[in-house]
Amino acid sequence: MDLLREHDIDPSPLVGARVAVLGFGNQGRAQSLNLNDSGIDLVVGLRRDSPSEAAVRGAGIEVAGLEDAVSGADVVMMLAPDETLGGLYRDIEPCLRQGAALGFSHGLAVHFGQISPRADIDVYLVAPKGPGTALRSLYTEGKGMLGLWAVAQDATGQARQIALAYGRAIGCARAGLMQSSFAEECEADLFNEGAVVWGAVPEILVAGFDVLVEAGVAPEVAYMECIGELKLIAELIEARGVAGMREAISNTAELGAVLGGPRVVDDHVRERMREVLDEVRSGRFAKALSDEAASGYPQLKAARARARALEVERARRSLEP
């Protein structure tokens, strides 16, 4: 494994280059602010009447319409939601300069063929491994967030250097940039979202809460036990790894974990995880995301409403200071 850090990367491919970041949401905002602080010549491209325009101007960053931003740029970073990127690319393709570089922070749209990039452009990926808020706060603290980089198309012979210089400018190389591919980044990321951290962990927390409440435990106590301790274990695992976390807890907690954990996360769970991975690799998930967007996000809206109505939310509110 080759983990590249700042001193391994030449920043010069972005010196004198103009970067257009399309979108000013979670990643667009964080990456733009970091690029700006790294001294990159930057414009943020937004849709007409975008509600984000004032925030971009407020940050002292130049703002333009999507097509104007793209036509003046050497590097264009696609930071709108994944399910919109195919349509966005079709709109901006005629404005892309000959030999420009097109960047992504997720492999989905390119890997699943929603975008077929023009043959003359470089196509790269720099995917910070965490949310935009953390990417920005780490940068301002002088730290960085681990990231993956990849090249899908190297038309100019410069794609690798541009990807790395971009990853360095948003601060990822302070922690480390690791080479991957669009397929690997995208499949591993979608798998984790569906089957591990963002998919399974919240379900396990709420299921544990429900089991305790059903058995007569006060919802607030169930909340403190099953959900309130999540941050503590996350911090311990981040600082010491899984083995170190086990050594940092009481014998009581450790024996409970050793006897109970593998019974809950058993072969059946691994089999369901393989199903999620298969759904991702086959492109069925990417298709479901496009269909969801095309029909106005009915599943996401219903799931958000269900989550807000859960008993666990009431318990959380009653514990707020």
Q: Angle, to 10 degrees, between the axis of helix 200-214 and the axis of helix 219-226?
A: 150
List 7, 106, 111, 268, catalytic entry: 106
Q: In which element (H, E) is residue 225 found? A: helix 219-226
Query: Which of 1, 2, 51, 317 is the binder for ligand NAP (CB under 6 A)?
Result: 51
Please give the structure tokens belonging to residue 251.
């014998």
Cα(302)–Cα(305) distance, integer angstroms: 5
Query: Which of 5, 47, 160, 316 is the binder for ligand NAP (CB under 6 A)?
Result: 47
* 105 near ligand NAP, judged by CB under 6 A: yes
* 76 near ligand NAP, judged by CB under 6 A: no
Cα(16)–Cα(27) distance, integer angstroms: 23
Considering only the stretches 77-85, 201-209, 230-238, 282-290, report the one whose residues sit in contact with ligand NAP under the rule CB under 6 A: 77-85
* 79 near ligand NAP, judged by CB under 6 A: yes
Pick 81 or 262: Cβ nearer ligand NAP: 81
Give CA angle at 164 (158, 167), nearest 5°. Answer: 140
Contact in structure between 240 and 232 (CB atoms under 8 Å): no
Number of residues that bind ligand NAP (CB under 6 A): 23
Pick 28 or 176: Cβ nearer ligand NAP: 28
Helices H, strands E: what count in the chain?
Answer: 17, 9
Which strands make up the sheet holding 101-104, listed edge to edge? 3-4, 177-179, 147-153, 122-128, 101-104, 75-78, 18-22, 41-46, 62-65
- Minimal distance, residue 106 CB to ligand NAP, in Å: 3
| Window 5 to 34, contacts with ligand NAP (CB under 6 A) | 23-28
* 38 near ligand NAP, judged by CB under 6 A: no
Query: Read out DSSP for 12-78?
Result: GGGTT-EEEEE--SHHHHHHHHHHHHTT-EEEEEE-TT-TTHHHHHHTT-EEEEHHHHHHT-SEEEE
Query: Which of 14, 43, 88, 121 is the binder for ligand NAP (CB under 6 A)?
Result: 88
**Catalytic residue at 106?**
yes
- Minimal distance, residue 40 CB to ligand NAP, in Å: 18
Pick 180 or 223: Cβ nearer ligand NAP: 180
Pick 35 or 222: Cβ nearer ligand NAP: 35
Contact in structure between 319 and 220 (CB atoms under 8 Å): yes
* 128 near ligand NAP, judged by CB under 6 A: yes
Pick 26 or 192: Cβ nearer ligand NAP: 26
Contacts to ligand NAP by CB under 6 A? 23-28, 46-47, 50-52, 79-82, 84, 88, 105-106, 127-128, 131-132
Catalytic residues: 106
